[in-house]
Structure 1
Amino acid sequence: MREIITVQVGGFANFIGSHFWNFQDELLGLADDPYADEIFKHQQMDMDVLYRSGETPQGILTYSPRLVSIDFQGTLGAMNSRGSLYDSSPATKDVYTWEGNISTHTSEPQKKNLFLQSLDDEQISNKNKGGEIDHGREYQEKDIIECLESGVKFWTDYTKVLYHPKSLTELSGLWMDAADFSNYGIGKEALHCGHQGEEIIERLRFFVEECDHIQGFQFIVDDSGGFSAVAAEFLENIADDYTNTPVLLYTARDPRSYKKLGQRNEKIFQVLHDAVSFSRLSSLCQLIVPMGLPFLSTSKACTFLSIEDEKPYHSSAVYAAALHSTSIPFRMQYLRQPADPHDVSGAINMNDMVRMLSDNARKNTVAILDISMPAPSLRGKDVRQSLLSHFHPLTYEIEEDVEDLHSVEAVNIHGVIGPGGHCASVSEVKDSVDYAYDHAKSRPKFCHLSATRTPLPIPLPFPSIFSSLIGSQGELQGGSTTSSTSRGSLDVHSIPLATRLRMSNAILPYLESRLNNLMRFGIQRGAAGSDLIRGWGLSRDELEDMGESLTRMVMNLKPGDEISDDSD
């Protein structure tokens, strides 16, 4: 067994995680659905990598994500912090040592939306993707989709997964609004409130001790505010307790977190947080992947999508799809004689993937994430040459169209449509990728390709973000992208998807920005942000260590060049 434990820290990270686990739940359901497309019956993916088997006190077998989630108290919506898998709450005991009057203050529980009610009533379990359509059920599903599009407030509002009681953690005792939990300094002490840090470590240890041979930790961190410090505190404990276990960390940002910084103090506040957050998190993992565009809706990555940036329910779905794709190689089954050698190729464990991307001459630990959603088909004139051109970055502040002869890439392609209109075989995908690189202006020093014929399934609670040009299997149809009509899970059942993790000097602007801002506003003599940094509990020695770490990252990508301490 090659288990992975997933850790989600912060609001937007949990929005992403909710979609991510919905994808996995959909794959599990389709594998057992006699009416589902045959392509989902032979996935050749080991879901035990992400899931654990268990049993309730009543003897009912369970299958739940190997997950630790951390968020604010009150962000679980209608879900109990113990989840719904075991359907139990800790019993309350009468207090006998107090003889005075007792008053009880309770708040009204969050009402479940139509989607969650439908799960409770077991009125729908999986979408019917074949056979006759139940028009009564179709009408109900349309109501559910409309309800989600207009009313998602919490990440639990659209989750269809049953979580283990040890998975969900609410940070209590912070006594502040989420908007005030806005910087690295304010999050440093969050885990120390009421010994919550010890509790979270125990929850993690519970999942680790169940593993036969853990291959790594998959972290998703909302690093736009105090949760980056919460994650750093957590990662320090992991580094001490699980020294040889790799950490693959994705930092994620909601488009709404990119604020217009009018006053100079606001700018200093934000850029110092960004520099400190990235420096600390990158030092505590083997590979860090920044993702989060300020205007996702108008980015090239969303050419065929209809995203509303003000809805985290929308934007998180794109990042969740990317994470699903990048995690596929870690759970491909190692089969000596697969039933169909054309179905899957490129299995690799997390440790080998991290070493491949980071353990080169540069010793770099920062990767860029690109996506093609949906991925183009392999049919049509000159389509092979356009395969790479359909990749667009989800990482912000990078240089595009840069030539780097030392770059290393990990490409994941799944469910693409082949020349004959069928799901392309692995050999067809390989041929197309080779052809694309052979005819590109430059090619990476090394590229690892993972391919599978299984597309990304679109579960019912997925947002209606597909343009009218996307067909039921994710194929691109003729027409104009200016149409205001968007399509959801009732119209689009699956899509081909491709992602790319690349180690390239295109990340230099991202690194240099953080280094220059740290030097200018935090470290230099008379720096404008020195008092702010001290208020965050960071010493000058710590800042200088961060500066040296960022300097090494930059120098590894551009050796021999001088690094400026100035930034406008």
Structure 2
Amino acid sequence: MHEIITLQLGQQANYLATHFWNTQESYFTYSADQAESPIDHDVHFRPGLAPDGTETFMPRTVIYDLKGAFGTLRKINALYDRYESPYLQSLNAGLTPTRPTPASIRFFSDYSRVFYHPRSVVQLSEHELNSAIAPFERHATGEGLFADLDREHDLLDRDLRLFVEEADHMQGFQVFAGLDDAWGGFAARYVERMRDEYGKDKRLLRLGNKARAITELYQQASIVVPLAVPERLSASVKLDPGSQWHTSALLATAVESAMLPTRLKDPIKRDSLGGMAEVLNIMGKQSVAGLQMSFARSESEAHNDARQKKLSEEELSEGVQLDIRFTPSDQLESYSRSNGFRKPRVFSQLVTSRGYGDEEGEEVEMDRAERRVQRSSYEPVTKSYNSDLQFPLLDSFPEIFRGGDDEPLAEALNITSSLSTDSSVCRKLKDLRSAVIRSIGLEDRETLGNELMEMADEYHEGWSSGSDDGEDD
């Protein structure tokens, strides 16, 4: 079945993952007169039986959060026993629920449409959400909590093994984690234990608030994609930056679309996590990728959109640039020609288009691996995917996407997304080194500085910006 098991670590991760699971649930079909879903549900969902004997499907996920963070979701929850928010009361009563507002969303569970297995919910009672007495903020605090819990319980054996052992052909883990607080330390230690336990040679780079986490995690995961909501958005996207429900919805749209190939039933269109990682990390040690997205704002605009499913040879050869870039501003700055930065070299890219159908476009020559044939060694390695399946705008999803009349869009979107690696990472790793090198202890300074420089050099091959040459600090 090529199952993917998900880990959700902390509030930021759980808000995003809730949108992700709601979207997956929307792909299920429940009546004979509905067309068969193009999504293979067994990748992310496990079959089971409810107490009344009916068949159920629940996410293959383990959800970690602090005391007081789960809201309506209880340890014995969902199918079994659940305190319900107004949105869920309407949903479970078979009524059309009123779309939540930012003020009505207090917890990620307030807009969850899926049922979780009781073993999926793990409350860490040692810390309380938003505690002023013992805030869960420091990287070392997360590391220490994981060490204490793992020593006492063996977390992988207690929480993860059930989902791993019931998978027939697991293709990998999908980890959602907050990285700018103590969850970064918790995630670093958790992924390290997973690598040791399951023998995965992963390199994980954390581009967040702790340089120490970057160098530690860089060596453990195949690909890491730093995400942040852009500071500036076009008029077609309107969101409340103070609402995690809003911001995580925008991120989930791009994440769910970019990873769509891992869930498709059609073997011609489907790809694995490993296959996608192999294309992105074509140089061997380029584990950091950037995520971009564009969407069609109406049926007419979708029909006339110049950025169709089949992108032009020129776009593919130079590296696809889409409307919304989710690169954290403190890690990868803008490089448009207008602000004085040269466009970076794109090493590799995965382009996924959904909802556009079979429009005619410029033919692109492919090799045996279904990747675009490069005309020169400087062009990026490119693999493209497409599906007729649009991104659904559910009633649990905020009205953040607008049409040409500034009215909220409903029902579904056409999405083009891109995951890519490029040379701009080099400059940003050097900048990060300069920012943190004076703030760490003398005993770690040389080691950490060298590791960051070695990582930066992996994104410098075949690229020269002139003024960057010879600058190490």
CA distance in 2, matches of 1:2, 1:456: 23
1:15 and 2:9 aligned: no
CA distance in 2, matches of 1:52, 1:451: 26
CA distance in 2, matches of 1:498, 1:238: 32
8 Å contact 1:215–1:349 — kept in the other structure? yes
Aligned to 1:291: 227
CA distance in 2, matches of 1:347, 1:280: 32
Label 1:432 to 1:149 Cα distance change in 2 as closer, same or farther (>3 A): farther
CA distance in 1, matches of 2:446, 2:157: 29
Label 1:452 to 1:51 Cα distance change in 2 as closer, same or farther (>3 A): same
- TM superposition shift of 1:544: 4.5
Which protein is richer in helix relative to its size? Answer: 1
8 Å contact 2:293–2:418 — kept in the other structure? yes
Aligned to 2:85: 113
**1:411 maps to which of 351, 367, 375:** 351
CA distance in 2, matches of 1:494, 1:563: 49
Aligned pairs (5 A) from 1:128-139: none
> 1:205 is paired with a residue of what secondary structure?
helix
**1:189 maps to which of 144, 161, 182:** 144
CA distance in 2, matches of 1:249, 1:551: 13
8 Å contact 2:351–2:419 — kept in the other structure? yes
Aligned to 1:264: none
- TM superposition shift of 1:240: 0.6
Aligned to 1:226: 182
CA distance in 1, matches of 2:190, 2:361: 40
1:451 and 2:449 aligned: no
CA distance in 1, matches of 2:24, 2:222: 25
- TM superposition shift of 1:501: 0.6
Q: Name stretches of at least 5 consecutive residues in structure 2 with no aligned partner.
A: 337-341, 367-371
The amino acid of 1:191's aligned partner reads F
> 1:313 is paired with a residue of what secondary structure?
helix
Deviations for 1:186-237, whole angstroms, at most 9, x for unmatched residues? 2211224455762454221110001111101111111110001111111111
CA distance in 2, matches of 1:430, 1:54: 46
Aligned to 1:392: 324
Aligned to 2:67: 73
8 Å contact 2:427–2:456 — kept in the other structure? no
Aligned to 1:466: 401
Aligned to 1:64: 58
CA distance in 1, matches of 2:416, 2:424: 20
Aligned to 1:55: 49
CA distance in 2, matches of 1:286, 1:217: 11
CA distance in 1, matches of 2:71, 2:305: 47
**How does the TM-score come out when normalised to structure 2?**
0.83
- TM superposition shift of 1:319: 0.8
- TM superposition shift of 1:405: 4.7
- TM superposition shift of 1:59: 3.0
The amino acid of 1:32's aligned partner reads Y
Deviations for 1:349-373, whole angstroms, at most 9, x for unmatched residues? 111211221142x521100111113
The amino acid of 2:233's aligned partner reads S
- TM superposition shift of 1:177: 3.0
CA distance in 1, matches of 2:13, 2:32: 34
What number of residue pairs does the alignment pair up?
Answer: 440
CA distance in 2, matches of 1:389, 1:433: 20
Cα RMSD (Å) of the superposition?
3.3
1:373 and 2:307 aligned: no
8 Å contact 2:7–2:175 — kept in the other structure? yes
CA distance in 2, matches of 1:366, 1:457: 28
- TM superposition shift of 1:522: 1.6
1:549 and 2:451 aligned: yes
Aligned to 1:163: 116
Aligned pairs (5 A) from 1:324-403: 324-335=256-267, 345-360=268-283, 363-374=285-296, 377-379=302-304, 388-397=320-329, 398=332, 399-401=334-336, 402-403=342-343
CA distance in 2, matches of 1:432, 1:178: 55
**How does the TM-score come out when normalised to structure 1?**
0.70
1:518 and 2:436 aligned: yes
Deviations for 1:536-567, whole angstroms, at most 9, x for unmatched residues? xxxx35x654433322221111259766454x
Higher gyration radius (CA): 1
CA distance in 2, matches of 1:172, 1:57: 28
8 Å contact 1:322–1:499 — kept in the other structure? yes
The amino acid of 1:183's aligned partner reads R
Aligned pairs (5 A) from 1:238-277: 238-244=194-200, 273-277=209-213
8 Å contact 1:346–1:448 — kept in the other structure? no
> 1:211 is paired with a residue of what secondary structure?
coil
Give percent identity, aligned residues only.
25
